[in-house]
Amino acid sequence: MYKNVIFDLDGTLLNTLEDLAGAANWVCALHGWPVHTVEEFKYFVGNGAPKLLERVAPAGTELTEELRRQTLEEFTLRYNAHKSDKTTAYPGVPEVVRRLKEAGVVLAVLSNKPHEAAQPVVERYYPGLFHRVQGALPGLPVKPDPTLLRRLMEELGASPADTLFVGDSNVDIRTAKNGGLAGCGVLWGFRTRQELEGEGADYVAEDAQELAELILR
């Protein structure tokens, strides 16, 4: 049994894709850029908002520092106003998180979503279930860099040997490896088994029940 489990947020705990796509496409429309399908956003998200906006910009766009700042501000305002329009928890996941907490597992979230957005959205859909929620902070590198992961583990009193990192993308599996943890990919999110196994996932869970059994065995 793993004593500590750290979850990714978008694509793992919450299906946020349509709200992220809506905010990013709103920015695209403001600047006269082509908009993108929701399906395309499965491969745009995962590395934080600045990288998302870089990916939606048309090829050849000169992304000056001023334009990066402006589009990030526009995206943040739009997303914060609409971040719960279509976002939902994945089926069965809140029940499994509750079961893990009741079993005494220490639970945390590490997201590339800005910290001020990550905390309230987790509390809205998973009230009182996580010991700590850590989002991206200004001036610090985001996943897969292990800086915030290590800080979070220190706050939890967690060691790599008894901690599992759970996420839906190659970024999450790489984060686990960079932090010296086992990594579990989940298949209900944005990416594929092929990607997760190709990145070297220690485990891949088809559904929430399989994830619970893996953690508690």
The catalytic residue positions are 8
Partners of 133 in the beta sheet?
109
Pairwise CA distance, residues 133 & 131, whole Å: 7
DSSP 169-214: SHHHHHHHHHTT-EEEEESSSSS-HHHHHHTT-SEEESSHHHHHHH
> Rounded to whole angstroms, what are the CA distances from 53 to 24, 35, 44, 60, 155?
7, 12, 8, 14, 31
Q: How far is CA 33 from CA 44, 58, 61, 75, in A?
A: 16, 7, 10, 14
Report how far residue 128's alpha carbon sits from residue 97's, in angstroms, rounded to the nearest whole number: 11
Closest CA to 32 of 63, 68, 57, 4: 57
The packing angle between helices 17-30 and 65-82, to 10°, is 130
Angle between helices 208-216 and 93-102 (to 10 degrees): 20
